Amino acid sequence: FFPEGMENGSGYLQLVDLVNGQPVLNKVNSNLAYTDETKKRLQKYTDDITNLGMPGMRMDMSVSPLLGIPEHGNLYFERVLNENQEGVVSYLEYAATKEHTFFTFWLGNNDVLGYATNGAVEEGPTSTLTDIETFTYVLNEFLEKLTAENQKGAIATIPDVTAIPFLTTVTKDALLAGVNAQNPPQPITDLYIATKSGVREAANEDMFVLPFSTAGLLGQPNEQGIPYGLHPLNPIEDKYVLDSEEAATVSAHVKALNQVIKEQAQSRDLALVDTYTFLNRVKAGIIINDMPVNGTFIQGNAFSLDGVHLTPLGNAIVANLFIEAINKNFKSSIPKVDVTNYGGVKFPNN
């Protein structure tokens, strides 16, 4: 979808090495498809497409035409709009203009994801939880348009965002082990985190965001010489931790949104793809075609290097989940994808 010389799009992460089991990642920034120095516009693609999935799209934002303006919205959505559509056509309206006889719908992940991955700290519209009323209204509007001529389709639930490697990889014990590996004068036994109800000791149930492990902050002294995260007077900032109370809130919200999705699927006779349940099984570990797949960062095969999105293999597995649901609901016989044709994380020299 990008011309030669721009084939790397907006860039991607590359695994360069594993040092003592820790990944060394590199952001590939060559042959990008940005058309301005602000990196807010990508090379246009206005040919006809049927895959309308847009990175970062949210249910609550899908009704706003402003999302098609790079300065305000989603550069991936802006890329597929012509100049007359920018700032005029919403994502919902854009999707509804496509002539279709069948559709697959998996929108809503980002209505929770940004909030969770930012430690439940709201720093803008993409790091908030979409309220149930707004989600319900927009989803209904979307499906009304997609089924306006009695089209059939499949709709997927929202995965449990607290089960992704971005939030499950960096643990309290792992951080303490890293600190104590530097041979401090006395063993360090506690971490301290800032929560919305005050500073407290970190618990095993608290979830640290993936980038914190390489941020180089833990143990660094402030102006008063108090080490970061190792003393209650200089705790780990809230945005780096989804604490246990916040994780419970996020999980409950996902379940509530999924109930809305299930009700819509039932009332409209749509195939329901339960990615929530399936990806929780993946977290624990499953075997597919004699191949182990789990939620472990890098080695688990399912999730990519950002700890959020699926690998080609993970996407192939989910594609089969869609196919199973469609075949079951509509008594069809769509053949499954051969997942062995798709890879997980690409290791150095592979």
Identify which has the larger pLDDT, 93 or 347.
Answer: 93
pLDDT over 70 (residue 350): no
Q: Which residues, other chains included, contact 216 with Cβ-Cβ below 8 Å and sequence gap of 6+?
A: none
* Residue range 4-44, pLDDT digits in tens: 999 999 999 999 988 766 788 999 999 999 998 777 789 99
Q: What is the CA radius of gyration of the chain?
A: 22
pLDDT (mean) for 286-291: 89
Asked whether 151 and 103 are in contact (CB, 8 A), the reply is yes
Residue 291 has pLDDT above 80, yes or no: yes
Whether the Cβ atoms of residue 161 and residue 200 lie closer than 8 Å to each other: no
pTM for the predicted model, two decimal places: 0.94
Within 13 Å and on the Cβ side, how many CA atoms surround 193?
26
Whether the predicted pLDDT of 113 surpasses 70: yes
Give the range among 22-26, 56-60, 114-118, 324-328 with minimum mean pLDDT: 22-26
Task: Give the pLDDT mean for 226-244.
Answer: 97
How does the average pLDDT of the chain come out, rounded?
94
CA–CA separation, 246 vs 258, rounded Å?
18
Confidence of residue 47 (pLDDT cuts 50, 70, 90): confident
Instruction: Count other Cβ atoms within 10 Å, centred on residue 46.
Output: 11
- What local confidence, expressed as pLDDT, does residue 78 receive? 92
β-sheet bridge partners, residue 287: 292
**Mean pLDDT of all residues in 43-63:** 92
Position 69 scores a pLDDT of 85
pLDDT at residue 20, as a whole number: 67
pLDDT of residue 319: 97
Helix (H, G, I), strand (E, B) or coil at 195: strand
Condensed to tens digits (0 to 9), the pLDDT of residues 178-188 reads: 999 988 889 99
First to last CA, the chain: 25
Length of the chain: 350
Q: Where are the domains of the chain?
A: 1-33, 44-99, 168-241
Question: Of 256, 283, 278, 267, whose CA–CA distance to 322 is shortest?
Answer: 278
pLDDT on residue 36: 82
Return the half-sphere exposure (C-beta side, CA atoms, 13 A cut-off) of residue 165.
Answer: 21
Which stretches of 1-89 are assigned E, i.e. beta strand? 12-19, 22-28
Query: What is the pLDDT at residue 248?
Result: 97
Unique residue bearing structure tokens 């509804």 = 96
**Per-residue confidence (pLDDT) for residue 21, from 0 to 100:** 67
Average the pLDDT over 286-311 and give the result. 93
In whole angstroms, what is the distance from residue 119 CA to residue 55 CA? Answer: 20
User: What percentage of the chain reaches a pLDDT higher than 70?
Assistant: 99
pLDDT band at 347 (very low <50, low <70, confident <90, very high): confident
State yes or no: pLDDT of 72 exceeds 80. Answer: no
Tell whether the model's pLDDT for residue 307 goes beyond 90. yes
Is the pLDDT confidence value at 84 over 80? yes
Angle at alpha carbon of residue 75, lines to 70 and 76, rounded to 5°: 155
pLDDT digits (tens, 9 = 90+) for 192-220: 999 999 999 999 999 999 999 889 999 99
Cα 220 to chain centroid distance, Å, stands at: 30
Question: What was the pLDDT predicted at 132?
Answer: 98
On whether the CB atoms of residues 152 and 270 are closer than 8 A, the answer is: yes
Instruction: List, for residues 133-192, the tens digit of each pLDDT value.
Output: 999 999 999 999 999 999 999 999 999 999 999 999 999 999 999 999 988 889 999 999
